[in-house]
Amino acid sequence: MGNPTGFMTISRQTSTELPPAERIQNFKEFHVPLHTDEQQAQGARCMDCGVPFCQSGMVLCGMVSGCPLNNLIPEWNDLVFHGHWELAVRRLLATNRFPEFTSRVCPALCEAACTCGMATGEPVTVRENERAIIEYGYESGVIRPVPPPARTGKTVAVVGSGPAGLAVADLLNKRGHKVAVYERDDRVGGLLMYGIPNMKLEKWVIDRRVDVMKAEGVAFVTGADVAGATGPAPADLTAQYDAVVLCCGAKQPRDLAVPGREAQGIHFAVDYLSGVTRSLLDSAFADGRCLDAKGKKVLIIGGGDTGNDCVGTAIRQGCAAVTQLEMLPCPPAERAGTNPWPEWPKVLKTDYGQQEAIAVFGAEPRLWQTTVKEFLADENGHVRGAVVQKLESKTVDGRPAMVPTGEEFTLECDLVLIAAGFTGCEGYVAEAFGVERTARGTVADHGFATNVPGVFACGDMRRGQSLVVWALREGRDAAAAVDEYLMGYTNL
């Protein structure tokens, strides 16, 4: 720790965000990074505490606290403070192969567990320090293609190029195995490419990393729907490769079984977001091939990250109004003294979609403790409104539950986006490989192996819907399991 009093004498300073009214004019990222000197000063705020919960990734009170990747945060914070940027890059990459992703889209579990934050109320700017480190790595040439010095002669097929698939492919290639990644979409990236809007993660960031991986020997095959109409059959993959890793995500959306669901104009949020991104990348929206919220009254069902992404996207398209329904109660603005860390409820985080909605419409669009009871359609069968019922928190059979209060009201809408979570992976790939699944729709856990010899699974497909940082952790651990299967031991 180069500055033992830094956490007391230096205030937390983050990157500048463009004003909401300005950033909603396009789909570009809207953070202006700190100057190098300012970023190094932020590294000095790290306390080098005796128990760095930020990097622990351990379960406390039934919740995971700290970074699931076990990033060595105090070490590279100190290197940032001293200006040893190249060493910081190498220390960061020792645990996280894709900091350019996590520093943009991770909710910063490390900062929530920061001892400095608990002591002063202002955690260290871990995520922004991480972004500064990795961007220095690219700009300086520290990050460049480094193919493995030797090959093992083993081959691996990775099905799916989301964060878990990229992580497992990168590490197995580094080990010396020959890796091919099969992706059913036209671009590499999976969730990163089509599930996360551009304003949170511009796609050149993904392409930059994929180009490095290609130069290091990883092969990517796009438009390859394994077990589908456009991809190789599972039997061909298992015959051609020594191991197969399934990283197909958990894209099966949860539907709403309510009257009127069949009305036109009701769509799953994941289809809406992916369509918008695809049209943006293909033609800057000139092809007109995505759902357009312009001039529409939009109702979004679900208050999580996907729902918030829909808010920000609809506003950028020029929607006339947007309302977001969330079943749970509104979390507190700050943790109460009787609410010990890290127990639920977490404090309410300010997300970008809500900031933008307030700037445009003058009010927060999210309605807490609400759900849809029925959709209403016009004479042409198109949705025109929704009957919304209010909920209250009660204990049912000894467990907390949200139940209707009997109070209802009607909301006008002509575009509905369902962002109610996911129920597991799309089953056709697992079924084609003969892989067992759980009642949740995920692949049955056998320590990253499956019931089929030589076939492994990781990421959301195995763990269930989760964060990008957890997908990267899944990929890292799965790579070690595959390596041990192929070689009899692992050094990953």
pLDDT at 34 > cutoff 90: yes
What DSSP string describes 69-109? T---HHHHHHHHHTT-HHHHHHHHHTT-S-HHHHHHH---H
Classified as helix, coil or strand, 345 is coil
Classified as helix, coil or strand, 258 is coil
pLDDT at 339 > cutoff 80: no
State the amino acid at position 187 in one-letter form: R
What pLDDT score does 45 carry?
A: 95
pLDDT at 348 > cutoff 80: no
Residue whose structure tokens are 């759900």: 371
Residue 347 has φ and ψ, to the nearest 5°, of: -75, 155
Closest CA to 74 of 41, 51, 99: 51
What pLDDT score does 341 carry?
A: 64
pLDDT at 220 > cutoff 90: yes
**d(C-alpha 185, C-alpha 163), whole Å:** 14
Lowest mean pLDDT among 167-176, 311-320, 392-401: 392-401
Q: For residue range 443-488, what is the model confidence (pLDDT) as tens digits? A: 998 899 999 999 999 999 999 999 999 999 999 999 999 999 999 9
Domain limits, CATH 1.10.1060.10, in the chain: 6-140
Inter-residue contact 171 to 210 (CB < 8 Å): no
Q: Could you tell me the two tokens for 197?
A: 């809007």
CATH topology of domain 6-140: Fumarate Reductase Iron-sulfur Protein; Chain B, domain 2 (1.10.1060)
Inter-residue contact 58 to 110 (CB < 8 Å): no
What pLDDT score does 490 carry?
A: 87
pLDDT above 90: percentage of residues in the chain: 84
Inter-residue contact 330 to 287 (CB < 8 Å): no
155-251+423-487: which CATH architecture? 3-Layer(bba) Sandwich (3.50)
What pLDDT score does 350 carry?
A: 67
pLDDT, mean of residues 125-151? 97
Q: For residue range 422-441, what is the model confidence (pLDDT) as tens digits? A: 988 988 999 999 999 999 89
Which of the two residues, 234 and 341, has the higher pLDDT score?
Answer: 234
Q: Model confidence at 117, in pLDDT bands (50, 70, 90)?
A: confident
Q: Within a 10 A sphere around the Cβ of 398, how many other Cβ atoms? A: 5
Domain limits, CATH 3.50.50.60, in the chain: 155-251+423-487, 266-418
Classified as helix, coil or strand, 17 is strand
Classified as helix, coil or strand, 233 is coil
Cα-based angle 291, 269, 252 (whole degrees, multiple of 5): 125
Inter-residue contact 148 to 97 (CB < 8 Å): no
Q: Could you tell me the two tokens for 69?
A: 């990747």
Q: Taking the model in full, what pTM does it have?
A: 0.94
What is the CATH class of 266-418? alpha beta
Q: Mean pLDDT of all residues in the chain?
A: 94
**d(C-alpha 287, C-alpha 252), whole Å:** 27
**d(C-alpha 185, C-alpha 223), whole Å:** 5
What pLDDT score does 413 carry?
A: 98
Q: For residue range 44-77, what is the model confidence (pLDDT) as tens digits? A: 999 878 889 999 988 877 778 899 999 999 999 9
CB hemisphere CA count around 398 (13 angstroms): 0
Q: Model confidence at 400, in pLDDT bands (50, 70, 90)?
A: confident
Signed CA dihedral, 434, 436, 442, 445: sign only: negative
What pLDDT score does 64 carry?
A: 81
pLDDT at 230 > cutoff 80: yes
Q: For residue range 367-386, what is the model confidence (pLDDT) as tens digits? A: 999 999 999 999 999 999 99
**d(C-alpha 356, C-alpha 227), whole Å:** 41
Q: Within a 10 A sphere around the Cβ of 155, how many other Cβ atoms? A: 17
What pLDDT score does 346 carry?
A: 64
- Burial class of residue 274, CB neighbours in 10 A (0-12, 13-18, 19+): buried
Alpha carbon 118 to chain centroid, angstroms: 25
Q: Model confidence at 345, in pLDDT bands (50, 70, 90)?
A: low
Helix axes of 73-81 and 126-140: crossing angle, nearest 10 degrees: 60
What pLDDT score does 384 carry?
A: 98
Q: Could you tell me the two tokens for 376?
A: 């209403």
**d(C-alpha 159, C-alpha 438), whole Å:** 20
Q: Within a 10 A sphere around the Cβ of 361, how many other Cβ atoms? A: 15
